[in-house]
């Protein structure tokens, strides 16, 4: 058996804080390591495995496309790309779509589109307001857009043009809107900051502020889209519509993809002003179409809402039992458990040993993003492991 950890140390750039686990196989809501040990997966590839690991509908679509057409230039039409764009538009409030490779690239495209709009229709306005605690991707511009210093400090000086204000604070937002601002870009829920859910009327107030000032509202739904929160898109739960929407993660059931969507009035790219070599790749697009159609046809978001409520009730029960749990929050199957001290990594390691994958998104917070198709029985199995870990370690925590 190969020593993959040593191979990684010798050949791979050390950018990931990996857990001591080599995953070799996955099916549904479970994965297996080299020794054949089984784990319940509450991480889901950072919310990418929307339909679980190796879902048949995605595997079949991607396999057939691999045998038919893998890649051509975007100088030509390809059917999977256009089928997915059509399906996205017909099931959203947006009118146009552009397919990219990732969430970071989708957000880059959204920022470029907003700046193009500002140049054409807002007298050259170019600045974009984002929130403290936000996360919009790992490219240099999206690092600048992200409102967390820990991601920014290694790469200064950063591209200019981004303003950061406290999340869920409409007054702070009002203070910085001026004629240089072309858009506000927000996550409906701040996943990477610990699953922070705003007050129910916050996004509606932001929408109104944008309308009053003639600027665009960009919603980064890279993590919250595709049924993750209990509706196909999270904006549906807040009673608003964005001007621009970004998607990725769960869109293609685990294959790399991203999407920028826009309303007709702000879809102002002209030929040659944006593009991508691999964006809208036939294989990823075919997988995306198959995954999205399955989500829609089988009303997966309704099941997510029901399972999410059950999951949250179970987490609230743990909070009632263990005094060191300080908060439970989230929507659908994007949930978090916060502790009153920095024990999340220790809990994560103990869960791993017991056969459960969880994500210590912050030093004091666990994030849960299981596949949308996870069964009630699998939820119970994973939650029982979590409860056992917390119970057995209660005195040390």
The average pLDDT across 137-158 equals 97
The average pLDDT across 243-268 equals 98
The CA distance from 67 to 359, in Å, is 36
Q: Write out pLDDT tens, residues 204-224.
A: 999 999 999 999 999 999 999
Q: Of 98, 135, 233, 339, which is the active-site residue?
A: 135
| Band (393; pLDDT cuts 50, 70, 90) | low
In the residue annotation, 249 being an active-site residue is answered as yes
**pLDDT for the residue 133:** 98
Does position 397 have pLDDT exceeding 80, yes or no? no
The CA distance from 173 to 184, in Å, is 9
Count CA atoms within 13 Å of residue 12 on its CB side. 11
DSSP 37-86: -EEEESSHHHHT-TT-BS-HHHHHHHHHHHTT-----TTS--HHHHHHHH
Does position 395 have pLDDT exceeding 90, yes or no? no
Residues belonging to the chain: 397
**pLDDT for the residue 233:** 98
In the residue annotation, 220 being an active-site residue is answered as yes
Q: Of 96, 249, 307, 312, which is the active-site residue?
A: 249
140 three-class SS: helix
The model's pTM is: 0.97
Q: Of 41, 168, 220, 243, which is the active-site residue?
A: 220
> Could you tell me which residues come within 8 angstroms of residue 21 by beta carbon, excluding any fewer than 6 positions away?
33, 39, 352, 357
- With the C-alpha atoms ordered 81, 82, 87, 88, is the resulting torsion angle positive or negative? positive
Q: Domains in the chain, please, with CATH? A: 4-55+299-392 (3.90.1150.10), 56-297 (3.40.640.10)
CA-nearest of 122, 151, 118 to 134 is: 151
In the residue annotation, 160 being an active-site residue is answered as no
Q: Write out pLDDT tens, residues 80-102.
A: 999 999 999 999 999 999 999 99
| Band (394; pLDDT cuts 50, 70, 90) | low
Does position 363 have pLDDT exceeding 70, yes or no? yes
The average pLDDT across 266-287 equals 97
CA-nearest of 106, 57, 65 to 291 is: 57
The average pLDDT across 151-178 equals 98
The CA distance from 51 to 44, in Å, is 9
């Amino acid at each position: 058996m190969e020593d993959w950890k040593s191979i990684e140390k010798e050949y791979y750039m050390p950018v990931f804080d990996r857990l001591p686990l080599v995953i070799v196989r996955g099916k549904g809501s479970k994965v297996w390591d080299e020794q054949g040990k089984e784990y319940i997966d509450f991480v889901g590839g950072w919310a990418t495995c929307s339909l679980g690991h190796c879902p048949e509908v995605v595997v079949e679509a991607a396999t057939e496309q691999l045998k038919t057409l893998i890649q051509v230039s975007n100088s030509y039409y390809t059917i999977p790309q256009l089928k997915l764009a059509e399906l996205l538009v017909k099931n959203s409030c947006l009118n146009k779509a552009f397919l990219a490779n990732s969430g970071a690239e989708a957000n880059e495209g959204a920022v470029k589109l907003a700046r193009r709009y500002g140049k054409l229709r807002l007298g050259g306005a170019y600045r974009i307001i984002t929130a403290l605690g936000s996360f919009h991707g790992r490219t240099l511009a999206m690092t600048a857009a992200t409102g967390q210093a820990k991601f920014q400090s290694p790469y200064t000086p950063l591209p200019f043009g981004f303003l950061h204000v406290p999340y869920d604070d409409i007054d702070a937002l009002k203070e910085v809107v001026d004629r240089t601002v072309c858009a506000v870009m927000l996550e409906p829920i701040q996943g990477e900051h610990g699953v922070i859910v705003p007050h129910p009327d916050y996004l509606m107030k932001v929408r109104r502020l944008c309308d009053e000032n003639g600027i665009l509202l960009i919603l980064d739904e890279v993590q919250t889209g595709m049924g993750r929160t209990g509706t196909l898109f999270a904006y549906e739960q807040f009673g608003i519509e964005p001007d621009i929407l970004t998607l990725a993660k769960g869109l293609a059931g685990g294959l790399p993809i991203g999407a920028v969507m826009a309303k007709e009035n702000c879809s102002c790219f002209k030929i040659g002003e944006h593009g991508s070599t691999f964006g809208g790749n036939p294989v990823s697009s075919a997988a995306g179409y198959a995954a999205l159609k399955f989500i829609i046809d089988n009303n997966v978001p309704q099941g997510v809402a029901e399972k999410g409520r059950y999951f949250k009730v179970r987490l609230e029960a743990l909070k009632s039992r263990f005094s060191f749990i300080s908060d439970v929050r989230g929507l659908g199957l994007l949930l978090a458990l916060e502790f009153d001290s920095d024990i999340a990594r220790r809990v994560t390691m103990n869960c791993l040993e017991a056969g459960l994958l969880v994500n210590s998104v912050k030093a004091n917070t666990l994030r849960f993003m299981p596949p949308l198709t996870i069964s009630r029985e699998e939820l119970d199995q994973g939650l029982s492991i979590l409860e056992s870990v917390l119970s057995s370690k209660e005195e040390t925590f």
